[in-house]
Chain A
Amino acid sequence: MPKIHELASVLADQIAAGEVVERPASVVKELVENAVDAHSKQIDITVEEAGLKRIAVVDDGDGIADEDAEMAFKRHATSKITDRKDLFRIKSLGFRGEALPSIASVADVTLTTSTGGVGTLIHNVGGIIKEHTAAAARKGTSVTVKDLFGNVPARLKYLKSPATELARITDIVNRLALSYPDVAFSLVHNGRELTRTTGRGDLQQVIAGIYGVQSARKMVAINGSNPDFKVTGYVSLPELTRASRQYISLLLNGRYIHNFQLSKALIAGYGSKLMVGRYPLAVLDIKMDPLLVDVNVHPTKQEVRISQEPELTQLIQETVFKRLSTENLIPDVFSELPKQKKTPEPATDQLTMALNDASTKYEFSSAPQSRPAATRPTPAATRPTPVASQPSVVADASAVAPKRGPQPLQTPEEVPVEPVVIHARGDFKLPAVQAFDEKYRTEQPAAPLGMSKATESAAERPAMASQPVETIPEATQLTQAKPQQRFPELRYLGQVHGTYLLAEADDGLYLVDQHAAQERVNYEFYRQAIGQVSDDEQKLLVPIVLDYPTTDVLELSNHVETLSSVGIHLESFGPNSFIVHEHPTWFKAGQETDTIKEMIDWVLKDGKISVAAFREKTAIMMSCKRAIKANHHLDDQQARALLKKLATAENPFNCPHGRPVLVHFTDQDLEKLFKRIQDPHHSGDDWGE
C-alpha cells in the first residue's frame, strides 16, 4: 500500500474546518455573512446554549435553487466568484466556498431554502447528506446547526465558558450589524433578545442599539475621502472613552477587520484630547476599490492587506482630527455627573468652630476631617454636583443669568428664555419650537438620537433606536445647516475655591479648571518652543556604538537622512553596528545613549521623527510645572487674561493629559436644576414663575 494517499473528503473538510470554524461565533459569522451576501434585508439569529446546542440563521435573501443546494455543501463551491479576475475584485464577504462544508463536517446542519417557489430541505450530518427533499419554505435561506463539534471532541474541549462564547457571538453580530445598517439583525439567545437593529440604514441608530443611546449621542459623524478611499462613520467625543481598543470597529467595504495601523491612526487623530490609557468608541466604514485590498490572507478574512496603507492612515487621522476640531468639546455637566459616593466615617473627628452661627452656644459640625490636609478640595470632591455640594455655584449662576421678562436680550438672535410647551404633534411647527430647536441644536449634533429637547418632552419615552420618532429627519437637516461657533466667548464671573473659574457665555454657565486651562495654554507654546532646539552637537570622547539586528540595520539605512535631520549622524561600523560620534546638545546628560536609541526606535516604528513630537512629554511637563495650581487666588485681571488666552488655543478643551479644561451648564441644565422645566407629563400648566 502506498504511503502517500489522498485524504477522504470528509476528513479534508474537518481539517479545513479547523481554520474556519474555531468556535460557535465562527459559525454565526460565516452563516450571517452568507445571508448578507444573499442580499437579505432581515437576518434573525437564534442561539441556544451559546451555540453549542443550536444555531439558526434565517434570512430573507435570494435563496438557493434546488439544483444548487447540494453543491453548496461541496468544498470550493461558491456562487460568489467565477474566475481569477474576480478574486482580485471581491465585493462579497465570502468567496472561498469553504464555510458551509466546513460547518457541515463538524455538525448536524439542516438547510431550508427557497428562491420563491417550492423550497428545498437538506439535512447534512458530519459532512454526509442524509436527506434531500422538497419542503415548504418562504423566500430566503434558513440554516440550523445542531450538535456543533459533536464529532470533534478535541475542539469541544478547548471552548471557553458559555458566557465567553456567547460574548463572541454577540460581538460578531454587533460588528456585522454595524457594517450593514440597512439590514435588520436580531440575535436571540435561549429566548432572550440580545441585539436588534432596525435596518433603516441609519448607522447612528445601530450604534445606539448596540452601545446605548447615551453613547450614541456622544458620537459625531465623520466623512473624509481622497481619490482612493472614502472614510465615513462615527467617532466618540473625547469625553466618551473606553479602556480598550475593543470598541473601535473598522469596516472595510462592509467587512469587519482588525488592523493595528488603522486603529492607531484613528487614535492619533484625537491627539492630546484623549486621556492616557483611554480609547474612543468608533465605527469607521472605509470604502475602497476592491482591487486595492487583498482579503485572501486568512480564512476568516479578519486580517487583510491594504495597498497604500500609509495614505489611508493619513486620511483617517486627518479626517478625525478635522472633525473634532470643529466640534465644541466641552462636556455637558448633566451627563458627566458621577454618582455621589459616601466616604467612610473616620475614627476621629476634628471639631470646627461654628463661625457663622448666631447662637451663643458653641456648635460643632461633625465634618469628617481629622486634620487640615483632609479639607483640601480634591478634584473629585469638588466636582460640580447639582445642588448638594455646590450651592454657591448655582446661586451665582442664577444671579447673573439673564432674567426673564422685560430685560433686553443680549444678542438679537438670542431666543427668549421661555419654556417651550408642546401639547400636540402639530406644535412642532410652531415658531417657538423651531427657535428652541435652533438654539439647542448646536450642543447636540447627534440630533437624531438626542432629538431636539423640544421633541423629547413630547415623546412618551426616551428615543430608543428601535423607536424612531417622526421628527428626526427635520432635526438632522437642521444639524447640517449652520456652522457652529466652536469655543464660546466667555465672560468671567468669579473664582470658586481658588481652583475653578466661573464664566458665562450666551449659552449658559461654564466652569473652568484654572490649572488645566493654563497648562493647555502653556503646552501650545512649549510644544512649538521645545521643537526649536539648536543644531549644536556635543562631540563625544568615547563614541557610542549601537548594535542592531540585520533587519533593523537594513531598515535604518533607508532612514539615515531622517535621523541626520534631528542631529543623529549614524555611521556604519561593521555589519550590524552603527557608531555615533556626537549628539545634539539638548540631550539630557547621562541619557545620551538611551535618547538616541529611543529616537531610532521611533524611526524604526514610524519611519519618521521630529524633535517636537519626540519631546512632547517634556513639553507637557514644562507646561504643567509653569502653570498656576489649584488653591491659588487669581484677581479679575489675571483670570480674564487666562480665559482670553484659552480662547485662542488650538484645542482649548483638554489639558495635555486629556483632562477636560471646562465643563458646561447649559441654560436648560440650570433650568432643570431649579425645576423650572417640569416633567414632560405636566408641561403646560404652571412654570415656576
Chain B
Amino acid sequence: MKFSINRAAFIKELNNVSRAISSKTTIPILTGIKIVASDAGLLLTGSNADISIESLIRADDPDIGLTIDEPGAIVLTARFFSEIVKRLPEQTMTVTVKDAFQTEITSGSAAFNINGQDANNYPHLPEVDAADSVVLSGAVFKELISQTVIAVSNQESRPILTGVHFVLADNQFLAVATDSHRLSQRQIELPTPSSAAFDVIIPGKSLTELSRMIGDDDSDVKMQFSENQVLFLLGDTSFYSRLLEGNYPDTSRLIPKDASTTVEFEAPELLAAVERASLLSHESRNNVVKLTLTPADNQVTIFSNSPDVGNVEEALDPKEITGDDLEISFNPDYMKDALRSFGQTTIRVAFTSALRPFTLVPTEDTSNFIQLITPVRTF
C-alpha cells in the first residue's frame, strides 16, 4: 500500500475517526486506526464497543491532493499515528506499507518507520441496511441531542437509561431521556413527510460524540437502522452506534397534565440564581435548594443552607405567578442542566405538589420541549 495526501485534510478526517478509538480496550487491535487505500480513495476506520466511525477521503477531490499509488490496507496504532501526522514538517505526506506491516511515513526529509498490524484481523463493522431511513437537518439534530442527552443516566446499573429513546411515528420525531431523577423530552415534526417508523434507544455517549462531528454547515444527517445498530451518514462519514436492547420505560404518563402553581421566569435569570444558591448547597451534605412560592404576594424565594458555611436567600423576580402557595426542594444540578438547555427564552415552571415532579417548558412552544425534575423530600 502506498499513498500521498495533503496533511491538513487528512488530519481533519483522522480526528473524526479517532473519536471512536479508545486506549482502553480488551481487543488490542482496536487501539489502532484501519486505513484502506483503494481506487475510490482512502477509507479510515476507528471503533470501540459503542461506536464505529468510517470516513472516506475521495481520490477525486482536488483539494485533498490524494494519490493512491498502490492499494492495500493496514492498521496503525492511533495514538502514535495521529501525533506523528500532526507534527510532520511538510504540507504533504506519504505512507508506504512494507514487509511485515512495517509502515513508513515520510514528509519532507522526516521518515518514520512504525509497526503496523494486519488489517485482516480488524473486526468487521456491522452491516446496516438502508430500508428505513430518516433525514434531519444537522443543526436541528445537534440541538435535539444537546437538549436530551443531559438527562441520560451514566450508570450502567440500568443500562437502558444510559440512552436516548427515539421514536418516529406519524411524522413526529420524539426524543426522550431520563436517569429516573429528571427527564428531558423533545419533539420535532419532520419537514418532509416520511412513512418510516421506528422505536430505538441510542446510547447517550454515542450521541455526544456524534453531535461533536456534526459541523456548523447545517448539512443533513441521515439515520438508518438495523436490528441492533444505527448508522448516521454525514457526507462521506459513516457513524455506527450500537442500540441499547430492552424496553424503554413508558415516560408519557410521567409528565403531569395540570398544575396547581405556575410561574414564569427568564431562563438565564433563574439559572443565575440557582447557580448562586448551589454554591452553598454543594458544600452541604444534601445538595438541595429550596424554592418558596407565594403567588398572593407575587413572591418567589430561593434558599440554600450549608451548616458548615452559611446560607443564602434570594428573592426572585417572576414574570408571572399563579396558583397555590408551595415550598419545594430539589437538586440544583438538575435544574442547572435543564435551564441551560433552554438558552435565552422565557420558561414556565409548573408544580403540582411538593413531592411531585415539576416541569419546565419554554413559553412560546409549550408542547414540543419539556424538562421534568423530581423534587427532594427533606426531613
Contact = CB atoms under 8 A, between A and B. Distances in A.
A632 B156 CA distance: 7
A329 interface: no
Contact of A360 (B26, B155, B253): B253
B50 interface: yes
A499 interface: yes
B348 interface: no
Interface stretch (B86-94, B167-175, B178-186, B211-219): B178-186
B110 to A, nearest CB: 24
Nearest to A636: B49
A633 interface: yes
A626 B181 contact: no
B157 A377 contact: yes
Nearest to B247: A356
A180 B320 CA distance: 90
A649 interface: no
Nearest to A347: B379
Interface stretch (B56-64, B187-195, B297-305, B369-377): B369-377
A375 B26 contact: no
A366 B331 CA distance: 16
B26 A631 contact: no
B100 to A, nearest CB: 21
A495 B156 CA distance: 10
A569 B224 CA distance: 66
A366 B375 CA distance: 12
Contacts of B25: 628, 638
A518 interface: yes
Contacts of A353: 178, 180-181, 183, 254, 357, 374
A360 B250 CA distance: 11
Contacts of B256: 362
Contacts of A352: 180-181, 374
A645 interface: yes
Contacts of B285: 346-347
A627 interface: yes
Nearest to B153: A372
A659 B26 CA distance: 20
B374 A641 contact: no
Contact of A377 (B155, B161, B250): B155
Nearest to B25: A638
Interface string B81-103: 00000000000000000000000
Contacts of A638: 25-27, 30, 49
B287 A637 contact: no
B156 A497 contact: yes
Most chain B beta-carbon contacts within 10 A, residue among A348, A364, A377, A645: A348
Most chain A beta-carbon contacts within 10 A, residue among B157, B242, B375: B157
B157 A350 contact: no
Interface string A488-506: 0000000101110000000
* Chain A, interface SS category: loop
Interface in A345-386: 346-353, 355-356, 360, 362, 364, 366, 370-372, 375-377, 382
A639 interface: yes
B375 A641 contact: no
A351 B376 contact: yes
A16 interface: no
Contact of B377 (A349, A372, A642): A349
Contacts of A626: 23-24
Contacts of A356: 249
B288 interface: yes
Contact of B26 (A366, A370, A376, A642): A642
A350 B355 CA distance: 10
B108 interface: no
Contact of A639 (B26, B329, B376): B26
B376 A370 contact: yes
B326 to A, nearest CB: 16
B220 interface: no
Interface string B343-379: 0000000000001110000000000000000111111
Contacts of A497: 155-157, 159
A639 B375 CA distance: 39
* Chain B, interface SS category: loop
B379 to A, nearest CB: 5
B156 A635 contact: no
Contacts of A498: 155-157, 159
Contacts of B377: 348-349, 351, 366
Nearest to B352: A362
A637 B49 CA distance: 9
Contacts of B50: 633
A221 interface: no
Nearest to B162: A633
B156 A631 contact: yes
A472 interface: no
Given A350-B331, A627-B24, A372 B374 contact: no
Contacts of A362: 254, 256, 356-357
A642 B27 CA distance: 8
B15 interface: no
B251 A628 contact: no
B155 A350 contact: no
Given A370-B286, A372-B155, A631-B156, A351 B355 contact: yes
Nearest to A354: B254
Contacts of B355: 351, 364
Most chain B beta-carbon contacts within 10 A, residue among A355, A356, A382: A355
A370 B355 CA distance: 14
Most chain A beta-carbon contacts within 10 A, residue among B49, B249, B288, B357: B49
Contacts of A642: 26
Contacts of A382: 157
Nearest to A632: B156
B157 A347 contact: no
B353 to A, nearest CB: 10
Contacts of B23: 626
A458 interface: no
9 contacts: A350-B374, A353-B181, A355-B251, A360-B253, A377-B155, A628-B25, A631-B156, A634-B26, A634-B49
Rank and list the top 4 A-B pairs by shortest CB-CB distance, nearest first: A498-B156, A355-B249, A642-B26, A349-B377
Given A349-B377, A633-B50, A633-B203, 4 more contacts: A497-B155, A626-B23, A629-B24, A638-B26
Interface of A: 346-353, 355-356, 360, 362, 364, 366, 370-372, 375-377, 382, 495, 497-499, 518, 626-629, 631-635, 637-639, 641-642, 645
